[in-house]
Structure 1
Amino acid sequence: MTDHTRKGAAAISTTERQPTPAPIAKGGNPSEGRGRRRASWAPARWAYSFYGVAATGAVIGQTWVALEHLPWPPAVPLAVRVLAVLPFALCLELLAMALAAMADERMRLGERAYGFRTFSAVVAVVAVGIQVVGHWPVLYWSSVFGVLSGSAYALWLLHAAARRRDALRAMGKLADTAPAYGLWRRVRHPIWTARAADLAREGHTDADTGAWRPLGLYESLRAAELMMRDEKRRPAVAHAVEKVVRADQWDMRMAEIAVHTLDLDRLAAELAARVDYQAWADRLAPAITAPVLPPTPQDTDSPAAPNPASTEAAPEQPHQPPTPHDPDTHREAEPDPEPRPDPHDHNDHDEEQDDDQDDDEEFDADNDAALAPDLVPLLPAARAARDELLGEGSTVSRDALAHRLRRNGTAIRNNRVSELLNALRREEASLNAAHSKVPA
């Protein structure tokens, strides 16, 4: 609640001039200065005037009913009758307010004062009933005196309740009023608005000056949003921390002791405070950055564009006719014939081994080029796993190959196993094709 709102609330609820709220020192009670109000004009004085008029009219109505319905002897003059009835009429009309004032005093001390409040309400109902029934069937007088009696009592209750709230707020026993969030926001977001209202009434203490002040409308809404978001995220972090703490303990009993002793919420808060968001942003930046495409072969093979500056700077050469073609002097160089291998240098068996070795080397180079760089070191392990499966008579499938690799100590995901399996199948197909070229 802002200072302007505090002044308005003070003007409506009290008639006393109150000092300006003083700043609250660090470590003090923030509620000590909440109820202090700045001096301002109090419209409550109009309430006193109206209450006096309504109470006077109610006493007149009670006296009139007594004069008409009581059996007075003819010898008793009218003035004596009025003086005899007036004290009882005043007592009946003012007793309800007196009981309400006593109840208000006890409620300021923290009591509920149910007895005083019940007794006051019963007396007020009796007084209003006498006014209505005593002036019946004249509807005008019945309604006028009944409304005057009931409104005087209701106004007294409202005024006393407002002053009691101010007194309780000054003592720190009642929270300040929350900002006006609007009906539409309260209907659409009831929980969010309720949390914001609680935070606004709670307020905060300035770290620099040590003065307490309530939160404004948008400050409280933002604070409630952050708190609700943190309440949703922190249990998940605490649950993950619990799993890590349990995993670090080999003894289950020690793990239970550690989990129940440590404040997991506090650990979650400490982790959230130490997060380096700048480093995470740098780490995740490539995910939202457009990739740079490599140049295509057409771009690399195309001739470079001529430089306009060099073209303009070069002197113009005179046109020369082409020289005639002389077949004797300008004969195209024919390629030298390739040397034939000497059949006496190698035997047939060595040639077959060389061909097989060349095919294997060519396939390994192709497979290494086709595979991702991080899968090339895993290719020997995949070949060994494939040979083990074939030796056992099992089918070389993706799941079987992944299970055998993991059993042999190679950790890999299933989608990467598919790439290794395709490489092994291409290797087998290439080997079969290479052997089919060798004559039997």
Structure 2
Amino acid sequence: MPMPPAEAGPSWSPARLAYWFYAVAATGAVIGQTWVAVTHAPWPPGVPAIARVAAVLPFALCLELLAMTLSAMADQRMRLGERAYGFRTFSTVVAMVAVGILVAGHWPHLYWSAGFGVLSGSAYALWLLHSAARRRDALRAAGKLADTAPDYGLWRRMRHPVWTARAAELAREGRVDVDSGRWRPLGLFESLRAAELAIRAEQRRPAIANAVEEVIRADQRDPGMAEIAVRTLDLDRLAGELAALVNYGAWADRLAPAITAPAPASTGPPSGQSAPGEPTELTPITGGDASPAASPEPENASDHDGRRVADPETVADRDDVLSAEPDRNDVDANNDETDPDDEYDDVGHEPDQGAELDADLVPLLPAARAARDELAREGHTVSRDALAHRLRRNGHSIRNNRVSELLAALRQETRSANGSRPTTPV
């Protein structure tokens, strides 16, 4: 068995250079403090220089290191969740005093003033930055600080400040991975997409919640009970539940006629006669000047646009079509006029004969047979609209023009079984 690759050790960190800088800067600052004390302090004449240096060196070292010590204590308290204002203020005051002594003590020698002042001030500033970075790492590892957000770029933040701010918030919040079960932050484009959906939902949900509130108030006769219901129910949650229950497929089928181009008009013989093998069209008379020859209709006209088209198989039985009466039990009698030519009654059928159907309609043929048998057993007229209504009630979403194709296939099966035209149940 091959051995797993050894884990790489921790990479070198540039933060290690900070400790060398602390040592050099602190040494230089202590030398500067000692120089100022030896030069400006009132020493007796007999005290040698080495004694003066030994006397002021501990005090200079304490003054320079006190600011960093106080800052380290403040950093420790801040990791525990405190703000540590006292330690931070004290540390800042001590650092300002130390830098001031170095600058003023070596004045008017500009080089020494600037050199020792910069060494002391930069050492303290670097210490603050380094300790703050380590504190954030520790808090992030303990789960007390959010992870960093992706870099969205300056141009995107300027153009879409709200969008990018929300994306950064969602990226830091993260989510639990379904596969591994571990928390992970969101990536750049993943967080942008999540922010877009969240903003869109926040804009749409209040409108739904207001409509739900109006319905709840209208459903209660007592205004007091209506107020209790509105205050108790979580309207935002109801709006979210309603949005999750929307059947977009059914709405798309309902709105499809609005974006469907009308079929081109059929080009028949100019004399008004039908060519051999072609169906004869029946057009409604809308006025004294209207005639079937003057206003031809397309072959695939439906009941929704007020046009009636005879089936090719029923041209010889036009008298039966015109004299047929709609069934009183038709489930769609209140919505559409039943086309008598789309009615039949048959309980027997052969095995699958849907070879003439489109491939996507062949799986729906057994469901259409079952719906036809149900309508026949209940005594309803088997029409296109009744069959469509029953199929949708049984959980099959289908458009009306596709139901017409299923109805034609069922007629073909019935004629093959009986050898004659089916009749409408009385």
- Please give the range of the TM-score, normalised by the shorter of the 2 chains: 0.5 to 0.7
2:142 is the counterpart of 1:140: no
Q: TM-score, normalised by structure 1?
A: 0.59
Residue by residue over 1:283-333, the C-alpha shift from the partner in whole angstroms, topping out at 9 and shown as x without a partner, is: 1112111111333677565998xxxxxxxxxxxxxxxxxxxxxxxxxxxxx
Structure 2 equivalent of residue 4 of structure 1: none
Distance 1:208 1:303 in 2: 66
Residue by residue over 1:135-179, the C-alpha shift from the partner in whole angstroms, topping out at 9 and shown as x without a partner, is: 111111111100000001011111111111111112211111111
8 Å contact 2:157–2:164 — kept in the other structure? yes
Residue 212 of structure 1 and its aligned partner are, at CA, apart by: 0.5
- AA matched with 2:213: E
2:236 is the counterpart of 1:265: yes
5+ long unaligned stretches in structure 1: 1-19, 21-37, 305-363, 377-440
SS of residue paired to 1:75:
coil
Q: 1:375 to 1:165 in 2, by over 3 A?
A: closer
2:156 is the counterpart of 1:185: yes
Residue 366 of structure 1 and its aligned partner are, at CA, apart by: 3.2
2:226 is the counterpart of 1:255: yes
Structure 2 equivalent of residue 88 of structure 1: 59
Distance 1:134 1:295 in 2: 106
Structure 1 equivalent of residue 167 of structure 2: 196
Distance 1:124 1:136 in 2: 19
**1:38-49 map, 5 Å:** 39-49=10-20
Distance 1:109 1:91 in 2: 27
Q: 1:259 to 1:102 in 2, by over 3 A?
A: same
From 89, 94, 102, give the equivalent of 1:131.
102
From 140, 151, 154, give the equivalent of 2:125.
154
Of the structure 1 ranges 161-170 and 86-95, higher mean CA displacement relative to structure 2 is found in: 161-170
Residue by residue over 1:218-245, the C-alpha shift from the partner in whole angstroms, topping out at 9 and shown as x without a partner, is: 1111101100000001111111111222
Structure 1 equivalent of residue 39 of structure 2: 68
Q: 1:80 to 1:248 in 2, by over 3 A?
A: same
- AA matched with 2:258: A
Structure 2 equivalent of residue 293 of structure 1: 264
**1:167-316 map, 5 Å:** 167-295=138-266, 301=272
Distance 2:104 2:19 in 1: 28
- AA matched with 2:196: E
Residue by residue over 1:72-112, the C-alpha shift from the partner in whole angstroms, topping out at 9 and shown as x without a partner, is: 22321111111111001001100100111111111111111
Structure 2 equivalent of residue 366 of structure 1: 287
- AA matched with 1:228: I
- AA matched with 2:125: A
Distance 1:73 1:182 in 2: 66
Residue 62 of structure 1 and its aligned partner are, at CA, apart by: 0.6
Q: 1:368 to 1:254 in 2, by over 3 A?
A: farther
Residue 248 of structure 1 and its aligned partner are, at CA, apart by: 2.0
Distance 1:164 1:145 in 2: 29
Of the structure 1 ranges 281-290 and 118-127, higher mean CA displacement relative to structure 2 is found in: 281-290
What percent of counterpart residues are identical?
74
Q: 1:73 to 1:293 in 2, by over 3 A?
A: same
Distance 2:183 2:250 in 1: 37
Q: 1:301 to 1:55 in 2, by over 3 A?
A: same
SS of residue paired to 2:287:
helix
- AA matched with 1:366: G
Structure 2 equivalent of residue 53 of structure 1: 24
Distance 1:162 1:191 in 2: 28
Higher RCO (CA-CA < 8 Å; seq separation 6+) = 1
Aligned length: 280
Distance 1:293 1:139 in 2: 94
Greater gyration radius: 1
Distance 1:107 1:45 in 2: 23
5+ long unaligned stretches in structure 2: 1-6, 276-284, 292-302, 307-426
- AA matched with 1:154: A
Distance 1:89 1:236 in 2: 70
RMSD: 2.7
Distance 1:176 1:256 in 2: 43
2:70 is the counterpart of 1:99: yes
Q: 1:288 to 1:143 in 2, by over 3 A?
A: same
Distance 2:287 2:273 in 1: 28
Residue 131 of structure 1 and its aligned partner are, at CA, apart by: 0.7
Q: 1:121 to 1:365 in 2, by over 3 A?
A: closer
- AA matched with 1:159: H
Residue 375 of structure 1 and its aligned partner are, at CA, apart by: 12
List, as ranges, runs of 4+ consecutive aligned residues in structure 1 with deviation greater than 4 Å: 296-304, 367-370, 373-376
8 Å contact 2:268–2:274 — kept in the other structure? no
- AA matched with 1:67: V
Of the structure 1 ranges 206-215 and 114-123, higher mean CA displacement relative to structure 2 is found in: 206-215
Q: 1:252 to 1:369 in 2, by over 3 A?
A: farther
Residue by residue over 1:377-417, the C-alpha shift from the partner in whole angstroms, topping out at 9 and shown as x without a partner, is: xxxxxxxxxxxxxxxxxxxxxxxxxxxxxxxxxxxxxxxxx
Q: 1:54 to 1:204 in 2, by over 3 A?
A: same
Distance 1:217 1:375 in 2: 51
Higher helix share: 1
- AA matched with 2:190: E
Residue 61 of structure 1 and its aligned partner are, at CA, apart by: 0.6
Distance 1:368 1:204 in 2: 71
